Amino acid sequence: MKITEIKSCIIGPALSAEQFIAEHFFLFLAKGKMNGYDGSKHYALKAGESCLVRKNRLARYNKVKDNNQFEKVIIFFDGVFLKSFQKKHSILFKNFSSKDAFIKLKNDDLINSFLLSLEPYYNNSGDISPKFSDIKREELLLILLELQPELSDVLFDFGVPGRLDLEKFMRQNYKFNVSMERFAFLTGRSLSGFKRDFKTIFNETPHRWLVKRRLQEARFLIEKKEQKPSDIYLDLGFEDLSHFYFAFKKEFGKTPADIHINSKSAS
């Protein structure tokens, strides 16, 4: 069986719908393409490639079907599993310096063979039977550490994010649609400390500043780059198009469609 014939599956906790990566996970793409963005860098993954997506990061990714097909394998390495693994195995640390949210993995026959070995363990619903999931996760992790030992520095770092430059972080990550609690955690603050520091720096509440900043970017993209409102609202952190239109008109007195029509007629 070819690697591209692997079925989609997820082993471990459910994949969160929000743009905060709560646990490390391995991602293999069997069919299609995937584009990722972590606030500062863009990433691309094509069929046959794999990567490690690291926890405590903000990241957005979208899938691109190939011949109307998209298949992926996602295997989570949550904290409980990793601590159990660490007790069983000798872990060496390598002072890995990369800060990337998506760490591209080497193509290797060991990974390919592992992926093919998953097939017999699928149950009728297309998932891996729970009784085998930890065994297969342990097997994959041993392979990854054999191929790229420096990943131990990422996977077995159980610390929480340290205190960051709040202004720099927010200007870089304002497009991500996550809660204030997440922003506070990622900048190394309690929620109350985050709100207090935010008010001091921006002279605005976090919610109001985020909405205004996203709307400013939206107007720029529509007016200057002639992008369609329906193509940008999700990437700017708005949950639905109607809310985006309502907030935009409230801020600027015109709808995104009005701005879009005027920009096209002026060009």
**Distance between CA atoms of residues 222 and 200, nearest Å:** 31
Domain boundary assignment for the chain: 3-155, 166-266
Amino acid at 223: E
Find the mean pLDDT for residues 10-20: 80
Q: What pLDDT is recorded for position 120? A: 84
Backbone dihedral angles phi then psi of residue 72, each to the nearest 5 degrees: -145, 155
Fold for the domain defined by 166-266: Arc Repressor Mutant, subunit A (1.10.10)
Q: pTM for this structure?
A: 0.89
| Residue pointed to by tokens 């990433």 | 43
Tens digits of residue pLDDT in 72-100: 999 999 999 999 999 999 998 988 888 89
Q: Which helix (H) or strand (E) holds 46?
A: strand 42-46
Q: What pLDDT is recorded for position 95? A: 86
Tens digits of residue pLDDT in 252-265: 999 999 998 877 77
User: What region does 68 belong to: left with phi over 0, alpha with psi -120 to 50, or beta?
Assistant: left
**What is the per-residue burial (b if ≥16 Cβ within 10 Å, else e) of 53-71?**
bbbbbbbbbeeeeeeeebb
Q: What pLDDT is recorded for position 11? A: 86
C-alpha distances out from residue 64 to 17, 40, 47, 240, Å: 18, 21, 11, 21
Q: What pLDDT is recorded for position 267? A: 62
Q: What pLDDT is recorded for position 159? A: 92
Q: What pLDDT is recorded for position 125? A: 65
144 CB neighbour count, 10 Å cutoff:
23
Q: Return mean pLDDT, the chain.
A: 92
* Positive/negative CA dihedral, 164, 182, 42, 205: negative
What would be the CATH architecture of the domain defined by 3-155?
A: Sandwich (2.60)
